[in-house]
Structure 1
Amino acid sequence: MEVDECEETTLHDVNMEEEMRKKQQQALEEAYDEDDGMPGGAQRVQCAQQ
């Protein structure tokens, strides 16, 4: 490979356990955020009877 075709990068050590905890926490926060977007909070709607 020629030098012109390369890109310089920096590698960092990763703590996988910490990253998984962060991902789980973020998923929980996103689930709560979805509830906040609904008027009156998350409520179930029942079908009208005919």
Structure 2
Amino acid sequence: DGTVIVGDNLRTDILAGFQAGLETILVLSGVSTLNDIEGMPFRPTWIYPSVADIDII
């Protein structure tokens, strides 16, 4: 079992997970969009439309 961070903001939630060496889930129901990912030097491990759609946990 591992730890994953779930968040809707690339610049805070997903960045924190990346810096901590964790797998990350970006949910698109909040702050960040798919277009925002292009400008980032890191990528979320998984992307889901909303928390309700997460099926890996």
TM band (smaller chain): under 0.3
Structure with the bigger percentage of helix: 1
Question: TM-score, normalization: structure 2?
Answer: 0.19
- The structure with the largest alpha-carbon Rg is 1
Structure with the bigger percentage of strand: 2
Question: TM-score, normalization: structure 1?
Answer: 0.22
Tell me which of the two structures has the higher relative contact order, counting C-alpha pairs closer than 8 angstroms and 6 or more residues apart.
Answer: 2
